[in-house]
Structure formats: C-alpha cells, structure tokens
Chains A and B, each alone.
Chain A
Amino acid sequence: MSAPATTVSAPLTGASAAAANPAGKALAVGLAGLSVSAIGVIVSGAHAAATSYLVGFSYWTAVAIGMLMLVLIHHIFDASWSTVIRRQYEHGLAAFKWLFVLFLPLLATPFISGGDTIWPWMNPAHVMHHGTVAEDVLYQKKAAFLNVPMFIGATLVFFAVWVWLSARLRKASFTQDTDGDLKWTTMNRKTAAFGIPMNALALTFAAIFWMKSLEYHWFSTMYGVWFFANCIRAALAFGVFIMVWLTARGDYRGILNKNHWHCIGTLGHAFVIFWAYVTFSQYFLIWNANVPEETFWYNLREIHADGTPSQWKWVGLLILFGHFFVPFLYLLSFRLKSTAAGLLRINIWIAAIILIDLCYNILPSLKDAHGDPLPFLSLNLVWVAASVVGVGGVCVWAYLRSLAGSGAKLIPVRDPRIKESLTYHE
C-alpha cells in the first residue's frame, strides 16, 4: 500500500535517510535500546543483564504470538468482523524472524562462562543450596528434557513454526489482494486448523523452557496457559494501539465503527477473566496442596528467607488488582469498552501490567547471596526497560516496514468477508 508519508515531525537533527520515515526511527530507537542492554552486561554483569533482556524479549514475543493466534482464530471461525483488523496483525507477524535474530544472543549463553548465564540447570556444576545441579535428584529426573541440545532444538522449532505459519498466512492474505482468489481463504483456514495446535504447543514449551525452567524445581501445568492468556491480552492491546494510531493518522477513518471497538473490548474483557481464572487456579492449587516443591516459587515472591515480606509481595498484589480487578471492572462498562479513547486508556494500563507480570515471573530468578530474589526496584529495571525499547523498536520497525512495503492493501479488499466486516453491526 502507499501509506501517506508521515512527515509531520519533519525537522530532524542529523537527518539520515533512515530517520525520515517512522520505520527508520523505530529501528534507530530499537538499536539504541539494545545498546543500553549491552551496557547492562558491563554494569550489572551478564547474569542480571541477560535475565532482564529475557523479560523484554518475551514481552514482544508474547505480542507476536498473540497476533498469530488471533489471525489463526479469525480464520478457523471464518470470522467476519475482524477482517479489517486482521490485516494489521498480519503486518505484525513480520516481527518473528527478527525476534529469532534477537534470541540468538540468548542461544549463545549455554556456551559461555559455564553456561548458567540465565538458566541455572545449564551448568551441572551450578551450586544450589543443597549441592550442585548435577547432584540434584529433581534435575536428574528432568535431565532428559532440560538439557542444552533440547533447549536449542526446541527453540529452533518454535521459531520455525512461528515464522513458517506467519509466512503462509501473510502470503495467502496479501496475494488475495491482487487476484481475489478464494483458494487463499481456504488455504488460510487449513493453516489455522493445524496452526492453532502447533502454535499452542510452541508457546507452551517456549514458556516452559524460557521462563518456567528458571526455577527448574517447580511444577505447574498452568504455566503455558498463563503465558497464552498474556499473549492474547498483549496482542489485543497492541491491536488497539495500532487501530487508534491508524484512525488518528486517517488511514482507518470510516473503516472502524462502534461495533468493532465493542468486539475488541469484549474479547479483551473475556481474556481478563481467562487470565485471572488461569493465574488464580495456579496459585490456588499450589496454596491448597501446600507441597514445598511448589510453594517455594510463591514464597520467593512474597517473603525473604527470614520471613519478612519482600517487594515482590507488593508486585504480586499489584498484578492481582491491576491485571484483573481494574480492567475487569473498567471493561464491564459498555461506554468505556466501545470507544477508541476508552479502550486506549485501559489497554495502555494492561500492556504495562503484562510487562510487570513477566518481571514477576522472570526476575526473581536473580538471587542475592542469601538466596533471596533481588528486589523489584533495582537497577535491573533499567535493563528491562532498555530491552523492551530495544526489542520493541525492532518489532515496530518490522511492522512498519511490512505496512509500507509489503505491497498489501490497507485492508484485505478482496477478502470474501470484507463487506460484512466494513458494515459490521450488532
């Protein structure tokens, strides 16, 4: 498509050719963020910097996974209302191959300085409070799954699944813009049929390998579902940001009506409840069973070794209220969930809380000398912010590049459901 060039902020200092367009700016911001992340390695050490980077990385991966899932769900249900929104998600899927590139530094960590830069189980000599990893029976029992070749192989498979599914969906959808052939719709529906289980497995195992295995003693069958809920919520939030931006810029003016917004809001509301259901279930089952192999994970996030409450307790409460009660009560209101302004406000909040939720799950694996997690408010938050900006800049760049340069129309003009989508009503 020929996007109207946004030359609003034309006066640029040190105007390079790349900085004149928004995509170039996004990339520049992204690279700057990544540089700050690299500085973190020097300032705080590889362990803290890489773990913080994992937060920012999984945040944007969650957005991309959620977008992929929403496109697949759109196709499997042969949905009509979301046709005009789907195109922007398809552009968002362009980020996957760059996310893979951005994961490469983490894939290299098993081979440097003992291997336990992020994941302690990668180094058999890593000292736990009861001996080394290699002597730990819980590691021995899980060693067939938690080992470096499995980790690398699985990660390659995850990205292969995501990149391949995205490429298929994008190609079919974009080609239909020019030839209007119905076979592309059928092809996407078939992709959705096998793509949903593939994506579900990939995101579940990614959550297990990348995040849950940070505390490899722990068990939770809910973990993948928890991550999935955050993926969809993140994708819906960023979908709203894109819609609001494109409407404000003029591209989407007249395309979206109140009912589209209401549907996004309602879907977001449903996933607020879904997230709460899953997250509470995980907490409740562990609380109720009261088995030390499981409860320690929450103890680390509530109290110090001496029993006094830690900062993470308040972070947990912030997540409970901020990730559930606030958006739940807010989105009960029809008025608030059916307008762009109302949705923008709550989704900025949700997008921020998702990041805190990921911090809560990842950062406590950084321990001090007593085995207590480092506090939430620490220098590491700077590296987290840098990674969010860094990986985010690259993802936004990939999206904008696809939006302007993929040759696809602004909306899928020859999709068989496009008319229904444009005239969508209650």
Chain B
Amino acid sequence: MSAQPHGLIATFDTAAEIYHAAEQVRDAGYRHWDCITPCPVHGLDGAMGVRRSIVPRFSLAGGITGFCAGMTMIWWTGAVDYQLTVGGKPLFSPMFAFPISYELTILFTAFATIFGIFATNFLPMHYHPVLKYDHIVRGLDDKFFVVVEARDPKFDTKATRALLEKIGGKHITELEA
C-alpha cells in the first residue's frame, strides 16, 4: 500500500451543485482536479476555469504541413525529379498544385486534430484510479463527482477534505492510487 492516495472523490446530486462546487474548487486554486458528470453540463468549463483546448494548434500545424507537402510534392515530382511538359503548361505552377495541396491540407488537418485530441487527453488510457471507486458507475447515470488529485501542489488530505465538505460534497472517499 503506497502511502500517497490518488486523491479524494466527492459525490454531488445535481448539476447545479457540482457547478457551484466546481467554482469553489477553482477559486481555492487547485489545478489537478476534474469533474465527472453523466451528461454535459453547460458552462462547467468556465466554472472549472478550464482554458480553451489547444487542439486547434495541432490542426493549424497539420494544415500548414499538408499544404506545404502538397506543393513540395508536385514541385519535386514535376519540376525536379521527372520533368515532363504536359499540355504546354510550365513544369511547376501553384495553379495545378493547388487541388492536391488543398486535399492534403484537409487530410493532414484531420489527422492532426484526431491525434491532437488523443495526445491532449492522454488517450488511449486503459486504466484510471477513479475506476476503482465502487460508485463510479453512478457517474454514467445520475451522480456527479469531483476528484481532487494528490499530485496537486495544494493537496492536503485534511484541508482538501474540509473544502469538499464545505462545498457540499458527500461520501468523500480516498482513492487508491
């Protein structure tokens, strides 16, 4: 048994309760914590102080890569590696490289977005300590949970438990790592 638990989990009954609880955990300055809800709770991102996803940056990088790959490929194959005049056109022109570049922009953007989502969510993840909690299945049904992780610099078993109690959390339980 490691001395350090994964963290503390608290149960809430309604979306409104977890919304306000999240605001207080946010204001208490915690960073490594999460909400588990059976349905999307609108505005919870703001209540948790979550910033916008950085996935669009992956998408942009993918798009630029795809566009440049398309242009470079057409230029390399047509104007460098195997020069062949077709229809009296120049060996390279961005005109006819555009459809390919456009397609590759979309393809690479899509790939970068998917991989960006996986990377930022640490997927695939086959195990998570929260899954050991007996009542976690209710999080797919009708209960709301707040999990504060022990690796958070502000985490303190007693103080955090007190905070979770104060904001209305029930059945506060220590999660095994």
Which A residues lie at the B interface, using CB under 8 A?
280, 283-284, 287-288, 290, 332, 334, 425-426
User: Does B96 sit at the interface, judged by CB under 8 A?
Assistant: yes
Q: Determine the distance from Cα of A425 to Cα of B43 in the docked complex, in whole angstroms.
A: 9
Main secondary structure of the interface of A (DSSP, over half): helix
The verdict on A288 contacting B95 (CB below 8 Å), with A332-B60, A425-B42, A425-B43 known, is yes
Task: Give 20 A-B contacts (CB < 8 Å), ordered by A residue.
Answer: A280-B98, A283-B95, A284-B95, A284-B96, A284-B98, A284-B99, A287-B95, A288-B87, A288-B89, A288-B95, A288-B96, A290-B87, A290-B88, A332-B56, A332-B60, A334-B52, A334-B56, A425-B42, A425-B43, A426-B42
- Determine the residue in chain B with the shortest Cβ distance to A288: B96
Chain B 37-64 interface mask (CB, 8 Å, partner A; 1/0): 0000011000000001000100010000
Residue of B nearest to A283 (CB): B95
Known: A425-B42, A425-B43. 14 other contacts (CB 8 A): A280-B98, A283-B95, A284-B95, A284-B96, A284-B98, A287-B95, A288-B87, A288-B89, A288-B95, A288-B96, A290-B88, A332-B56, A334-B52, A426-B42
Instruction: List residues of B (85-139) whose CB comes within 8 Å of A's CBs.
Output: 87-89, 95-96, 98-99
What is the number of contacts between chain A and chain B, taking CB atoms within 8 Å? 20
Give the interface of B toward A (CB within 8 A).
42-43, 52, 56, 60, 87-89, 95-96, 98-99
The smallest C-beta distance from B51 to any residue of chain A, in angstroms, reads: 11
Expressed in whole angstroms, the Cα–Cα distance for A425 and B87 within the complex equals 53
Closest to A332 in B: B60
CB-nearest residue of chain B to A334: B52
Distance in angstroms from B158 CB to nearest chain A CB is 38
Collect the chain A residues with CB atoms within 8 Å of residue B99's CB.
Answer: 284
Which residues does chain A contribute within 8 Å of B98, judged by CB atoms? 280, 284
Residues of A within 8 A of B42 (CB): 425-426
Chain B residues near A426 (CB, 8 Å)?
A: 42
Interchain nearest-CB distance for B156 vs A (Å): 35
Quote the shortest CB–CB distance from A210 to chain B (angstroms): 29
CA distance A426 to B41 in the complex (A): 11
Q: B104 to nearest A CB, angstroms?
A: 15
Residues in A neighbouring B56, C-beta threshold 8 A: 332, 334
Contacts of B95 in A (CB 8 A): 283-284, 287-288
Q: CA of A34 to CA of B95 in the docked complex: distance in angstroms?
A: 42
- Closest 6 A/B residue pairs (Cβ): A425-B42, A287-B95, A284-B95, A334-B52, A280-B98, A288-B96
Question: Using Cβ atoms and an 8 Å threshold, which residues of chain B touch A283?
Answer: 95
Closest approach, in angstroms, between the C-beta of B131 and any C-beta of chain A?
28
- B96 contacts which chain A residues (CB < 8 A)? 284, 288
CB distance from A383 to the nearest CB of B (A): 35
- CB neighbours (8 Å) of B52 from chain A are 334
* Residues on the B chain within 8 Å of A280, using CB: 98
Q: How far apart are the CA atoms of A67 and B98 in the complex, in Å?
A: 32
Q: Measured between C-beta atoms, what is the minimum distance from B130 to chain A in Å?
A: 25
A318 to chain B, nearest CB (A): 18
Q: Which residues of B contact A290 (CB under 8 A)?
A: 87-88
Cα A391 to Cα B96 in complex, Å, equals: 40
Tell me the bound Cα distance from A107 to B60 in angstroms.
Answer: 50
The interface residues of chain B lying within 8 Å CB-to-CB of A425 are 42-43
CA distance A16 to B1 in the complex (A): 89
Tell me the bound Cα distance from A356 to B43 in angstroms: 42
CB distance from A422 to the nearest CB of B (A): 14
A287–B52 Cα distance when bound, in Å, is 43
Q: Once bound together, how far apart are the Cα atoms of A334 and B56, in whole Å?
A: 9
CA distance A284 to B99 in the complex (A): 9
